[in-house]
A = this chain, B = another copy of it.
Amino acid sequence: MSDPFYRPVSGFDLPRFAGVPTFMRLPHVPLDDPRIREVAIGIIGAPWDGGTTNRPGPRHGPRQLRDLSTMIRAANGATGVRPFDMVNCADLGDVGPNPADVADSLERFTRYFRRVRDAGIVPLTAGGDHLCTLPILRALAADGPIGMIHFDSHTDLFHSYFDGCRYTHGTPFRRAVEEGLLDPKRVVMIGIRGTTYDTEDRDFARSVGIRVIPIEEYFRRGVADVMVEAREIAGTGPTYVSYDIDFVDPAFAPGTGTPEVGGPNSFEALQVVRALDGVNIIGADLVEVSPPFDPSGATAWLGVSIMFELLCVMAPRVAARRATS
């Protein structure tokens, strides 16, 4: 059971439009706060889009996600899970980037997430563009390569852009494999679609054993069947879940920089997360929400709805792990 200090403010008490907006109306507990040792799951903003090759904006994502997250309530209507009752969840604030220096930002993020990991906190990160995931993996895979379930319309496995630029939001997982952070045999990428430059990313995936499930196969087989395979690929080892909002069709998630039409709807966007129940998740993220392309916040609302579903599959595992340790 969680400490009542870590229960969200209820909309029955304080209207949802009121109050300083923290993630899901949880208490704000920065890393240097003494209470940080009580926290089991930390929700963290990663306001950075230094890796974005086309339309920027995800640096503004965490603030809008916090704003919309005030509409999340205490329990999952579909599964009944009440994550905030199970373990102490908190808003850890944002990790600070250097918006004018990619290498420096990668360093800052890696250091920050190492501190999170060392504090025994399971991070749920709100991006930021997809390059944010690389320093998170550098921190979480300190003891060896981990598995990953990756929802996206792109593989993000490219070698480089712009005549040799190796760190963009199209390359994080190429780097992560090269750096030994991911075990490619335990990586599955779901929802891939859109026009392509060439087959270099898919060739690389094949050569190292990453399983790519294109959207046509996804629709043909259905969510349940695809997710059975995804769980098998991830297995029982430590697994990271990376969810790019552009996995979802742009009608449901317009606020993103590289949308690809022909994706899943919002019901499936939640279903795929619910199907992660039982996976050994050691961290997760929701990235590429870009407020400038969605002033109304519809994408952020879907984003935090997905983050809540992630919490609902993470919390029981974290609670169980804590109970046995």
User: Does A56 lie within 8 Å of B57, measured CB to CB?
Assistant: yes
When all copies of this chain in the complex are counted, the total is 6
User: Does B261 lie within 8 Å of A249, measured CB to CB?
Assistant: no
Q: Which residues of B contact A308 (CB under 8 A)?
A: 195
CB of A101 within 8 Å of the partner chain: yes
Interface flags, A69-107, vs B, CB<8A=1, else 0: 001111111100000000000010110111111101000
User: Does A198 lie within 8 Å of B74, measured CB to CB?
Assistant: yes
Interface size on A, residues (CB 8 A): 93
Interface flags, A1-34, vs B, CB<8A=1, else 0: 0000000001111111111111000001000000
Contacts A78-B214, A196-B75 known; A267 to B258 CB distance under 8 Å? Answer: no
- A/B interface sample: 15 pairs, CB < 8 A: A15-B54, A18-B96, A18-B97, A20-B21, A20-B91, A20-B93, A56-B57, A71-B258, A74-B195, A76-B195, A99-B162, A101-B102, A249-B267, A261-B270, A292-B292
Taking Cβ atoms with an 8 Å cutoff, the residues of A that contact B are: 10-22, 28, 45, 47, 49-57, 59-60, 62-63, 66-67, 71-78, 91, 93-94, 96-102, 104, 161-163, 165, 167-168, 192-199, 214-216, 219, 249-252, 254, 258-259, 261-263, 265-267, 269-270, 292-296, 298, 301-302, 305, 308
7 nearest CB pairs, A to B = A292-B292, A73-B195, A56-B56, A262-B267, A261-B266, A295-B295, A18-B94
